Amino acid sequence: MSISTCIFDAYGTLFDVGAAAREAAKENTALADAWPGLAADWRRKQLEYSWLRAVAGTYCDFWQLTQDGLDWAMEAAGLSDAALRQRLLDLYWELQAYPEVPEMLEALAGAGKATGILSNGSPKMLDAAVTSAGIGDLLDATLSVESVGIFKPAASVYDLVGQHFRCTPSEVLFVSSNGWDAAHAAAYGFETVWVNREGLPMDRLPGAPAHVVSDLTAISGLAL
């Protein structure tokens, strides 16, 4: 069956999550050399906390995880500046899309494909990111795990796509910069693309992505 629907993870896939620390470093000398490590730790703990809370059954919204992850990362970096913390959090609400995103989404729309986001992010966070990036008119839906109360890679999260778009898993091209997300989505039944911007090894998980790319420019071709 051909692809009818293209679904994207949000953070790190469409939106550059390193931008908050990178922008803050332009304003604060304390981050001049530390921002890459801070950004990496922040993202890693944000995801780790989502998995741990899913296993433990202690769901909270993604904004809380974002704050908790930043607090850990700042402490690990020896930073305790409350004003810097607030600035980093504020910048997280102003994330920009990767440069190739608008043209890629326009190409999918031109090919008659439905498009959407499926993310751990809360609806308010996702709305802010979509608005900041200026891609709202290029997306048919923004789906959040908040409606099911558990984080990826729970199957009930991937179920949201079929429920909303009235499609089967085999009709979905699912795109994520997280190897584990692409792998679990593949095991679920989606055709998946791993956007491996950093050239990382493949995760050892039950599923495997059908495609591995270094950015999003090839997505419209894979959906045809």
Pairwise CA distance, residues 100 & 82, whole Å:
34
Does residue 54 contact residue 154 with C-beta atoms inside 8 Å? yes
Residue 44, Cβ neighbours under 10 Å: how many?
A: 13
Pairwise CA distance, residues 14 & 8, whole Å:
7
* Beta partners for residue 11, in sequence order: 15
CA distances from 56 to 49, 153, 221 (A): 10, 14, 40
Active site includes 215?
Answer: no
Tokens of 153: 């890679």
Q: Which of 9, 16, 41, 181 is catalytic?
A: 9
Hey, which residues are catalytic here? 9
